[in-house]
A and B are shown apart, each in its own frame.
Chain A
Amino acid sequence: MTSSDRTLKVDIWRGNEKGEYQSFEVPERENQTVLDVVTYIQRHLDPALAYRFACRVGVCGSCTMTVNGRPRWTCRTHVSRVVKGGKLTIAPLTNLPVIRDLVTDMTPFFEKWRDARGRFVAGDGPKDELAPVQPESRERSAASAAIECINCGVCYSACDVVSWNDDYLGPAALNRAWAAYNDVRDGDRNGILKAVSQGAGCHTCHSHQSCTEHCPVSLNPTFSIAGLKRASLKAKLKGALK
Chain B
Amino acid sequence: MTPLSYFLQRGTAMLMVPLIITHLAVIIMAVQGGLSAEEILSRTRGSMLWAGFYGVFVLAASIHAGIGMQTILHEWTPLGRQASANIGHTLIAILWLLGARAIYAVVWA
Contact indicator B7/A197 (Cβ below 8 Å)? no
Establish whether residues A237 and B2, one from each chain, have CB atoms under 8 Å apart when the complex forms: no
Closest residue on chain B to residue A161 by CB atoms: B75
B61-103 toward A: CB 8 Å interface, digit per residue (1/0)? 0000000000000111000000000000000000000000000
The verdict on A236 contacting chain B, using a C-beta distance below 8 Å, is yes
- Annotate A146-167 by CB proximity to B: 1 below 8 A, 0 otherwise: 0000000000000001001100
- Whether A176 is near chain B, meaning CB under 8 Å from some CB there, is no
Q: Mark B1-38, 1 if CB is under 8 A from A, else 0.
A: 11111110000000000000000000000000000000
- Is A236 a contact of B76 with CB atoms below 8 Å? no
> Which of A161, A200, A203 makes the CB contact (< 8 A) with B3?
A203
Chain A, 198-242, CB within 8 A of any chain B CB:
200, 203-204, 229, 232-233, 236-237, 241
Asked if residues B3 and A232 are in contact (CB atoms below 8 Å), the reply is: yes
Which residues of the other chain, A, contact B3 by a CB distance below 8 angstroms?
197, 203, 232-233, 236, 241
Given contacts A161-B75, A164-B76, contact A233 B1 (CB under 8 A): no
Give A227 Cβ to nearest chain B Cβ, in Å: 14
Q: What separation, in Å, do the CA atoms of A204 and B5 have in the docked complex?
A: 10
In the bound complex, how far is the Cα of B5 from the Cα of A197, in angstroms? 11
Q: Is B7 a contact of A164 with CB atoms below 8 Å?
A: no
Distance of A236 Cα from B74 Cα, bound (Å) = 23
Q: Which of chain B's residues have a CB closer than 8 A to the CB of A233?
A: 3, 6-7
Whether A203 and B6, one on each chain, are in contact in the complex, defined by CB atoms closer than 8 angstroms, is yes
Task: Give A165 to B1 CA distance when docked, in angstroms.
Answer: 11
Say how far B87's CB is from chain A's closest CB, in angstroms. 16
A171 to chain B, nearest CB (A): 16
Pairwise interchain contact A236-B7, C-beta atoms closer than 8 A: yes
- Rounded to whole Å, the gap between the CB of A169 and the closest CB of chain B is 12
Please encode chain A, from 4 to 44, with 1 for each CB lying within 8 Å of some chain B CB and 0 for all others: 00000000000000000000000000000000000000000
Contact A197 B75 (CB under 8 A): no
Chain A proximity of B75: nearest CB distance (Å): 4
CB distance B75 to A203 under 8 Å? no
Chain A residues numbered 171-201 whose CB sits less than 8 Å from any CB in chain B:
197, 200
Q: How many angstroms between the C-alpha atoms of A161 and B7 in the bound complex?
A: 19
Best-buried of B5, B6, B7 by chain A (most CB within 10 Å) = B6
Residues of B within 8 A of A236 (CB): 3-4, 7
Closest Cβ of chain B to A190, distance in Å, is 13
Complex: A236 Cα to B6 Cα, angstroms: 11
- Contacting residues, chain B, for A200 (C-beta < 8 A): 1
Known: A203-B1, A204-B1. A164 touches B75 (CB 8 A): yes
9 further A-B pairs in the complex, CB-CB below 8 A; given A164-B74, A203-B5 = A161-B75, A164-B75, A164-B76, A165-B74, A203-B1, A229-B6, A233-B7, A236-B7, A237-B7
Give me 9 A-to-B residue pairs in the complex whose CB atoms sit less than 8 angstroms apart, sorted by A's number: A164-B74, A164-B75, A197-B3, A200-B1, A203-B2, A204-B1, A232-B3, A233-B7, A236-B7
Residues of B within 8 A of A (CB): 1-7, 74-76
Residues of chain A touching chain B, judged by Cβ–Cβ distance below 8 Å, are: 161, 164-165, 197, 200, 203-204, 229, 232-233, 236-237, 241
Q: What are the nearest 6 A-B pairs in CB distance?
A: A164-B75, A203-B6, A203-B1, A236-B3, A197-B3, A204-B1
